[in-house]
Amino acid sequence: MSTHLQPKGPTAKGPEQWFTGEVYFNAYYTGQEPSRARLNLVRFTPGAHTAWHQHAVGQTLHVTEGVGYDQTRGQELIELHPGDTVHTPAGEWHWHGAVADQFMCHLALWEAPDPASGEPETTWGDKLTAEEYPA
Ligand code: MN
């Protein structure tokens, strides 16, 4: 095997059923078996955020720009700044996104589960209510 420059895919818009507000992402790396690694850059416009969701094998976010939030269900809100890295363990319900008046960009690193498990990489739940997104 040798080092490969990865093809640059298009910037895609985050689907409306998974995101509130305008979110754009680039898939930078999608590992081929035996690698199941995934690396995306996700750009949230001000106020934009994910719905509640969980990752079968967890997820690590690294903030590259702006100001944002990350919150696991039932836990305190974490404010994110450039250079911050946050990890959410497998199966924990959480959301992440931009603060109301700033963009936020993060790299998202995760792994797909063993295909034999039949589990999806990410399980999506409800969108945040107006009360759940910080005022
Ligand atoms: Mn996540």
Alpha-carbon distance 130 to 123, whole Å?
A: 21
Residues of the chain with pLDDT under 70: 1
User: CA nearest 1: which of 35, 39, 27, 29?
Assistant: 35
Cis ω on the peptide bond leading into residue 34 (within 30° of 0)? yes
Distance 33 CA to ligand 1 centre (A): 22
Distance 51 CA to ligand 1 centre (A): 9
Q: Which two tokens stand for residue 14?
A: 């985050």
Distance 64 CA to ligand 1 centre (A): 16
Distance 2 CA to ligand 1 centre (A): 31
pLDDT of residue 2: 80
Question: With left for phi above 0 and alpha for psi between -120 and 50, is residue 74 left, alpha or beta?
Answer: left
**Beta carbons of 50 and 19 less than 8 angstroms apart:** yes
In this prediction the pTM is: 0.95
Tokens 């998974």 locate to 18
pLDDT of residue 1: 61
Distance 95 CA to ligand 1 centre (A): 6
Distance 6 CA to ligand 1 centre (A): 23
Rg, the chain, Cα only: 15
Distance 59 CA to ligand 1 centre (A): 6
Tokens 């910080």 locate to 134
Backbone angles phi and psi of 115, in degrees to 5: -55, -30
